[in-house]
Chain A
Amino acid sequence: FRIPQNNELSPPAGHVNFLLIREIHVANVASTGFCQPPTSAGGQQHESHGDLRSLSSSLFIIILHFLYEIMAVHGPVVKIHPVVLASIVDSYERRNEGATRVIGTLLGTTDKHSVEVTNCFSVPHNESEDEVAVDMEFAKNMYELHKKVSPSEVIIGWYATGYDITEHSVLIHEYYSREAPNPIHLTVDTALQSNKMNIRAYVSSQMGVPGKTVGVMFTPLTVKYVYYDTERIGVELLQRTRASPSRTNGLTTDLAQVASAAGRVQEMLTTVLSYIEDILSGKVMADNSVGRFLMDLVNKVPKITAEDFESMLNSNINDLLMVTYLANLTQAQIALNEKLVVL
């Protein structure tokens, strides 16, 4: 990353580079030891440090967020299940008075190139200007309880709501590195600072001058959402609550579901057809890879004659009808039996 230029404040000459590096460290490093400058501090220097620190920290964070979008990631891919995010949002909504953010543990499984986050629970903590207190006992207990249900889940990191990575985060991250090798830090921006809920994941790596001043940097990772099939269906159902004004939604009937699925397929077909027509009429350049996909699509349709298909479908329907009839018969029989017994 490029080092931000400080042209507003004039730090004492000769210390410029050192201070810059120091301030960038400070923006990410928590422990107070680092915050004391080695040179003797007059009040004035403290002030300038303060301003410098906040300036470069904010600059640094801006850069970090910008780089998040474009930087190549080194590290595992983070796959998140939507249940984890819903849990985080829910615990944010239930936070105590005065708390600006919520933290908690992430549980899941790791694998060589990816980390799958499947569960989480929130951990009560207190955060103030100077210090951070996390209820570790609670975290351990909850983890034990969760392990009883799903023994394959391990602690793989922690999450925090909020936009920035603060100094306290580093302390907490250190604690979690004792629990898990290379923990993941997930931030969920529930304050919606940029009109979106940014969900980011980081892993920490050492940086700095070894032996002298070392610090910790959070490198971003790609985040992917993975769903089980049933989860996908659940999430889809939940999406519909966005449409209703009272944010509620009943469970739909089967017929409606089938109708909507058929509608979707139809939409997709019309899109593809219009694209093809555009190409044929020369409006759009033909793309070979898309063409190959189209070939695949056409070849997937099984080669059966219309009569065969019709007879297959009909026999299927006949089976269903027969079973329905038998089931209805059984039902009638049972009801009759019931009445006879009661007589």
Chain B
Amino acid sequence: MCFGPFPLHQTMASRKESAASGSSPLETPVKQIQIDGLVVLKIIKHYQEEGQGSEVVQGVLLGLVVEDSLEITNCFPFPQHTEDDVDFDEVQYQMEMMRSLRHVNIDHLHVGWYQSTHYGSFVSRALLDSQFSYQHAIEESVVLIYDPIKTAQGSLCLKAYRLTPKLMEICKEKDFSPEGLKKACIGFEIMFEEVPIVIKNSHLINVLLLDLQEKSTVADKHELLNLSSSNHLEKSLQLLMDRVDDMNQDIGKYNTYCRNLSKQQQQKQQYLQRRQQENTQRQSRGEPPLPEEDISKMFKPPQAPPRMDTLLIAGQVTCQSVIFMGRSLF
């Protein structure tokens, strides 16, 4: 389910000069994210209305960069990819939306995208690809992950992630083989980095909130104190087990690859030795030596970071479930 990288290149081509600086700083250019209350509400609403079926909703974040913090001032949702909409033009949708928003003075700078997640399992190849292309085009872009299930339990769960510079390097080179990864010394902890989020509201919105609070009743907001968390626990555990299984398979594959590689090395050695022997025999008999054949029966199945992703998923889901459980414990 790969999302907006393609339209992004076209829209960003003209804006690249104006958006980020030309040089790529080594430390993260974004220290903090400031989100408008409106964006939070919109994301919540989008998932609530459209996300019940397919579990993942996506959208675009708009805003601007102010010194070392990223301000997100508006957002718009992206329609779902349905089968009967094969030639639905994403680019056109985005362009039209941004053009219209420009008319009403809404910031039309693309600064990232958001995605909802299901029980914390959002780390996937698609996310990596999309975020990479976003970050490649715009230095400061982030992906906001919204967890509706955890939010429904009482506390807004919104996290912002960026790819670390190291991972950016690797993705740029597209060298996902084990040797490449070993060289770069990537561990799963340094793939994504989390950026702290701060919510900001203008004065007028504060007045609105005051009004809302006066009018709303003291409703039942006690989801937090719900003791029966076994349902969520089961689901999280199930997902964790699935990820561990995937991980297992991947490791198995890697092991077979290593074994095959070493076997092949042995075979090569044996072949070379036999060659040598034959050559000496032939020489002793006075015949021309056999030509050295090209020993390029090397097959090297590149182990791509699906391995890395599985790692990260496992780590991620683990973390999520730990946090989740830790909270329910209280």
Determine the chain A residues whose CB is within 8 A of the CB of B54 once the complex forms.
none
Q: Is the CB of A92 within 8 A of B204?
A: yes
Q: How far is the CA of A252 from the CA of B151 in the complex (A)?
A: 12
Q: Is the CB of A250 within 8 A of B198?
A: yes
Which of A14-22, A283-291, A325-333 forms contacts with chain B? A325-333
Q: How far is the CA of A86 from the CA of B325 in the complex (A)?
A: 34
- Given A248-B198, A261-B225, 11 additional A-B pairs, CB 8 A: A83-B42, A150-B50, A152-B49, A232-B221, A237-B40, A242-B206, A247-B201, A255-B327, A319-B230, A328-B318, A334-B318
Determine the chain A residues whose CB is within 8 A of the CB of B156 once the complex forms.
233-234, 237, 251
The answer to whether the Cβ of A118 comes within 8 Å of any Cβ in the partner chain is: yes
Determine the chain A residues whose CB is within 8 A of the CB of B221 once the complex forms.
232-233, 236, 261, 264
Q: How far is the CA of A235 from the CA of B210 in the complex (A)?
A: 11
The answer to whether the Cβ of A342 comes within 8 Å of any Cβ in the partner chain is: yes
Determine the chain B residues whose CB is within 8 A of the CB of A94 once the complex forms.
104-106
Tell me the B147-183 residues at the A interface (CB within 8 Å): 148, 151-152, 154-156, 158, 178, 182
Q: How many residues of B contact A (CB 8 A)?
A: 91
Known contacts A327-B318, A331-B318; A196/B211 CB under 8 A: yes
Cβ contacts A80-104/B at 8 Å (1 or 0 each): 0111011101111111100000000
Which of B9-17, B31-39, B276-284 forms contacts with chain A? B31-39
| Closest B residue by C-beta to A260 | B224
The answer to whether the Cβ of A119 comes within 8 Å of any Cβ in the partner chain is: yes
Tell me the B245-262 residues at the A interface (CB within 8 Å): 247, 251, 254
The 11 listed contacts between A and B (C-beta, < 8 Å) are A91-B104, A145-B96, A145-B100, A150-B77, A199-B211, A228-B45, A233-B151, A251-B156, A316-B230, A320-B233, A324-B321
Q: Is the CB of A86 within 8 A of B155?
A: no
Determine the chain B residues whose CB is within 8 A of the CB of A335 once the complex forms.
187
Determine the chain A residues whose CB is within 8 A of the CB of B215 once the complex forms.
225
Checking A96, A238, A255, A324 against B40 with a beta-carbon cut-off of 8 angstroms, the contacting residue is A238
Determine the chain A residues whose CB is within 8 A of the CB of B34 once the complex forms.
248
B181 to chain A, nearest CB (A): 8
Q: Is the CB of B41 within 8 A of A83?
A: yes
Checking A152, A250, A338 against B196 with a beta-carbon cut-off of 8 angstroms, the contacting residue is A250
The answer to whether the Cβ of A310 comes within 8 Å of any Cβ in the partner chain is: no
| Closest B residue by C-beta to A195 | B207
The answer to whether the Cβ of A128 comes within 8 Å of any Cβ in the partner chain is: no
The answer to whether the Cβ of B270 comes within 8 Å of any Cβ in the partner chain is: no
The answer to whether the Cβ of A254 comes within 8 Å of any Cβ in the partner chain is: yes
Determine the chain B residues whose CB is within 8 A of the CB of A190 once the complex forms.
204
Determine the chain B residues whose CB is within 8 A of the CB of A334 once the complex forms.
188, 247, 311, 314-315, 318
Q: How far is the CA of A255 from the CA of B328 in the complex (A)?
A: 10
Q: Is the CB of A96 within 8 A of B105?
A: yes
> B: which residues have CB within 8 A of A?
34, 36-38, 40-42, 44-50, 74, 76-79, 88, 93, 96-97, 100, 103-106, 148, 151-152, 154-156, 158, 178, 182, 185, 187-188, 196-213, 215-216, 218-219, 221-225, 227, 229-230, 233, 237, 240, 244, 247, 251, 254, 311, 314-315, 318-319, 321-323, 325-330
A14 to chain B, nearest CB (A): 48
The answer to whether the Cβ of A231 comes within 8 Å of any Cβ in the partner chain is: yes
The answer to whether the Cβ of A269 comes within 8 Å of any Cβ in the partner chain is: no
Q: Is the CB of A338 within 8 A of B311?
A: yes
B89 to chain A, nearest CB (A): 10
Known contacts A225-B212, A258-B225; A338/B188 CB under 8 A: yes
| Closest B residue by C-beta to A192 | B207
Determine the chain A residues whose CB is within 8 A of the CB of B50 once the complex forms.
149-150
Determine the chain A residues whose CB is within 8 A of the CB of B237 once the complex forms.
323
Determine the chain B residues whose CB is within 8 A of the CB of A197 once the complex forms.
204, 207-208, 211
A338 to chain B, nearest CB (A): 5
Q: Is the CB of A138 within 8 A of B100?
A: yes
Q: How far is the CA of A268 from the CA of B329 in the complex (A)?
A: 23
Q: Is the CB of A83 within 8 A of B96?
A: no
Known contacts A149-B79, A261-B225; A138/B315 CB under 8 A: no
- A-B pairs with the 3 shortest C-beta distances? A83-B41, A254-B327, A261-B224
Q: Is the CB of B240 within 8 A of A327?
A: yes
The answer to whether the Cβ of A274 comes within 8 Å of any Cβ in the partner chain is: no
Known contacts A86-B37, A255-B327, A330-B314; A233/B200 CB under 8 A: no
Determine the chain B residues whose CB is within 8 A of the CB of A258 once the complex forms.
154, 224-225, 327, 330
Determine the chain B residues whose CB is within 8 A of the CB of A121 once the complex forms.
104
The answer to whether the Cβ of A187 comes within 8 Å of any Cβ in the partner chain is: no
Tell me the A106-147 residues at the B interface (CB within 8 Å): 118-119, 121-124, 135, 138, 141-142, 145
Q: How far is the CA of A238 from the CA of B207 in the complex (A)?
A: 12
